[in-house]
Every structure is written in C-alpha cells, then in structure tokens.
C-alpha cells in the first residue's frame, strides 16, 4: 500500500504545483489584432521569468466586457475607450504597439500590390454598391490589371471588433456616404458579404472564397500569404504597408491629446503613410483589488517595452516611440493597490 499512497501524494503534490503555477499566470482577453505579438512576447517572457500569459483572442468587445467584469487581469482593445468610459469603470488605458489594417483579396492571378483602390471605392464595395471586380470604377484605377467579371464577396468581422472600428473609422473619414449610413463602430449591420470571427476567421474566409475581399491586421495577411490591396492615402499615393508606412502615419501624432492615449492614426498626411494605421491598447483597473497580480501585468508590459521590440518588428508591428513609452510608464503610477501605493515601483 505504501507505493500506492506515495503515488497519490506525489500526484497531489504535482497537481498543487501545476495549480500554483497556473494561478500565477497573467490572464488577459480581447483584441485579435495584437494576438500574434502577445503570443511571442508571452513565450519569451515565460522562458525568462517563469510567469506565463493566458491570453484569449476573443475580439475587442469581449476584452472590454471581461475587464469590466473583473474576470481577467487585463483587457485588450483596438478601439480605445473615451475618457468618460475610462472614468466610469475606473480604468487606465495604454498602447502597446502599432500596426496596420489591410484589405486582402482572393482573386486568381492577382498578387500583393497589383490591385489599387481609393477609400471611396473600398467603402462602396462594403456598402454593396460596387458588386463586381469588373466595375468601371475599379477598372479605371487598375488599367492593365486583368480582373474577372465576377461578383465580389466582402468579408467582415462577425464579432465586436476593434479591427472593425479601425476599418470603419477610416471609411467614415474618406466616404461621407459610409459615415452617414454606418459610421464607425466595433459592430456594423453589414449590407452584403460574409462574416468571420476574429482576424483568424476573416483570414480563413478570404482564403476559402474565390473573389473575396476582407480586412485584417497586416501580420495575418503576411503570415497567410494573402494578397494585399493597396489603398490611396491622403497625399494621393499608394504606399506598400509595412514598418515604414505605419511609422510614417504615426510620425506627427500627439498621443496625449486624448485620455488613455486614445488617438486615431487613420488617414494621416504623408506620402509614405499607410492610411489604415492604428495602435492597440491595454485596459487595467486603476484601483486594484489584487496589487500583486496587477503588478505582474505591468511587469509583463514593462518587459515587452524593454525587450520585445525585435519580436514585434519581426511580426510587422511597430514599437511605440520611446517618448510615448515614457509617458505610459508615468500613467502606470495611477494603478494603485488598497494602500493607495502604485502596484509597480518604477
């Protein structure tokens, strides 16, 4: 009986260790836009510190709901909350990285950069007004490019999505018709097309449906070899999306002009600026019920700011300017425990 009892005890001890390790992990949920880089950061951080990150890529709307309900240590959103919403729920908001939302298409024989659209034409496709790739408005912008006389299937996010908020913010800025009919939001009553859940879902639908067009975070397009459609920017140019184009869009941004750094980087001036550029954000409670866990969240992102730039760049995200990182760390002083002291000593 002794070996059996010993085995049970050993098993219980192992279970307790595993439970303890799991309990120490940071929990977060939300935006699918930054999921690839958060995954890479989490992998490297666990190797270095032993602390893991359990992040659920469920969309910005879900992330906001979960941090409001206090079921996670942090929420993640690509649609930054306004000052009033932050104050209402007692939240501190800060950006982590920047990236771009890009239209992607599944048209036979068409490669990245071969198709060009204006923002107005892109809006009309998603409004259901332009229904075929052979439409004269598309043909005029793409002389010499062989496009089929086939119906376009617009693919969109079916969940509450910060990526949708970025995309529709841009469409609202370039199309008065879109702005008046749909506006900018994390959810839209799409008039045409097919939905997919998360950036992952939109990527999958576009790959499966011939002649589809969708919008995804750039890392998803690149990793899945989806042809990117170029969009005319505010200066009338068609830049290729990537680090340089995203940095150009953020070059003159005033990050402190909105509470929680919640600025828009869409439709910025500059010949090299990608027109659908955005930052992604983290939400934490200002008054923490568990200072140790909140401190672990900030330690993780502090590590990411100091050590994660290359991992971010490798996935085609753009690290924040150093001056913005300094401002963010100053903002972290507002995250305090029950004793009123900052949870992270800087």
The secondary structure element, H or E, covering residue 57 is: strand 53-57
What is the predicted pLDDT for the residue at 23? 47
Report the SS3 class of residue 268: coil
> For the segment 205-237, what is each residue's pLDDT rounded down to a tens digit?
999 999 999 999 999 999 999 999 999 999 999
User: Which residues make beta-bridge pairs with 56?
Assistant: 29
Q: Are 30 and 64 in contact (CB under 8 A)?
A: yes
Distance CA 165, CA 6 (A): 57
Say yes or no to pLDDT of 175 above 60: yes
Distance CA 229, CA 238 (A): 10
User: Do strands 194-196 and 153-157 pair parallel, antiparallel, or not at all (unpaired)?
Assistant: parallel
Q: Are 103 and 231 in contact (CB under 8 A)?
A: yes
- Going by C-alpha positions, the residue among 228, 222, 197, 202 that lies closest to residue 103 is 228
Question: Which residues touch 266 (CB under 8 Å, ≥6 apart)?
Answer: 166, 169, 170, 173, 249, 275, 276, 277, 278
Question: Which residues touch 143 (CB under 8 Å, ≥6 apart)?
Answer: none
Say yes or no to pLDDT of 15 above 90: no
Record the tokens describing residue 55, joined without a space.
Answer: 């992040």
Query: Residue 228 has what DSSP assignment?
Result: B
Which domains can be identified in the chain, with CATH numbers?
A: 2-99+278-334 (3.40.190.10), 101-252 (3.40.190.10)
What is the predicted pLDDT for the residue at 24? 73
The secondary structure element, H or E, covering residue 144 is: none
Question: What are the backbone angles phi and psi of residue 152, rounded to the nearest 5°?
Answer: -85, 135
Say yes or no to pLDDT of 300 above 50: yes
Say yes or no to pLDDT of 266 above 50: yes
Distance CA 246, CA 242 (A): 6
Mean pLDDT for 313-339 is 94
Say yes or no to pLDDT of 132 above 50: yes
Mean pLDDT, the chain, whole residue set: 91
Distance CA 183, CA 195 (A): 18
The gap from C-alpha 271 to its chain's centroid, in whole angstroms, comes to 24
Q: How many CB atoms lie within 10 A of CB 57?
A: 21
The gap from C-alpha 311 to its chain's centroid, in whole angstroms, comes to 16
Record the tokens describing residue 288, joined without a space.
Answer: 């923490």
Q: Are 68 and 62 in contact (CB under 8 A)?
A: no
Distance CA 146, CA 133 (A): 10
Say yes or no to pLDDT of 4 above 60: no
Q: How many CA atoms lie within 13 A of 14 on its CB side?
A: 6
CA 298, 292, 34, 86 dihedral sign is negative
Record the tokens describing residue 201, joined without a space.
Answer: 């879902």
Mean pLDDT for 34-63 is 96
Distance CA 134, CA 156 (A): 21
Residue appearing with tokens 């930052």? 279
What is the predicted pLDDT for the residue at 346? 57
Residue appearing with tokens 């910060």? 162
Report the SS3 class of residue 41: helix
Mean pLDDT for 180-192 is 95
Question: Which residues touch 220 (CB under 8 Å, ≥6 apart)?
Answer: 36, 199, 200, 202, 203, 226
Say yes or no to pLDDT of 162 above 70: yes
Q: What is the DSSP string of 277-346?
A: EEEEEEEEESB-S-HHHHHHHHHHHHHHHHH-HHHHHHTT-EEPPHHHHHHHHHHGGG-B-TTSSBSS--
> For the segment 49-102, what is each residue's pLDDT rounded down to a tens digit?
999 999 999 999 999 999 999 999 999 999 999 999 999 999 999 999 999 999
């Amino acid at each position: 009986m002794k070996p059996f009892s010993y085995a049970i005890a050993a098993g219980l001890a192992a279970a307790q260790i595993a439970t303890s390790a799991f309990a120490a992990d940071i929990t977060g949920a939300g935006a699918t836009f930054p999921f690839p880089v958060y995954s890479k950061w989490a992998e490297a951080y666990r190797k270095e510190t032993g602390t893991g990150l359990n992040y659920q890529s469920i969309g910005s709307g879900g992330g906001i709901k979960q941090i409001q309900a206090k079921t996670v240590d942090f929420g993640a959103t690509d649609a930054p909350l306004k000052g009033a919403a932050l104050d209402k729920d007692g939240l501190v908001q800060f950006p982590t990285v920047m990236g771009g939302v890009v239209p992607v298409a599944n048209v036979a024989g068409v490669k990245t950069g071969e198709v060009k659209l204006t923002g107005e034409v892109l809006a009309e496709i998603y409004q259901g007004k332009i229904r075929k790739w052979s439409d004269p408005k598309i043909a005029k912008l793409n002389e010499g490019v062989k496009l089929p006389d086939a119906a376009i299937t617009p693919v969109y996010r079916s969940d509450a999505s910060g990526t949708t908020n970025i995309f529709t913010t841009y469409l609202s800025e370039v199309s008065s018709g879109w702005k008046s009919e749909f506006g900018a939001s994390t959810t839209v009553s799409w008039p045409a097309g097919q939905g997919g859940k998360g950036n992952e879902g939109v990527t999958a639908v576009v790959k499966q449906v011939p002649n589809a067009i969708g919008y995804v975070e750039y890392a998803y397009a690149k990793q899945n070899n989806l042809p990117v459609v170029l969009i005319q920017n505010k200066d009338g140019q068609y830049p290729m999306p990537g680090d340089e184009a995203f940095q150009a869009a953020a070059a003159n941004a005033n990050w402190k002009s909105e509470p929680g750094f919640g600025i828009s980087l869409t439709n910025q001036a500059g010949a090299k600026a990608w027109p659908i550029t955005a930052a992604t954000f983290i939400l934490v409670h200002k008054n923490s019920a568990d200072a140790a866990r909140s401190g672990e969240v900030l330690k993780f992102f502090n590590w990411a700011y100091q050590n994660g730039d290359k991992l971010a760049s490798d996935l085609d995200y753009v690290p924040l300017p150093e001056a913005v990182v300094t401002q963010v760390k100053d903002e972290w002083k507002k995250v305090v425990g029950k004793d009123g002291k900052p949870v992270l000593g800087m």
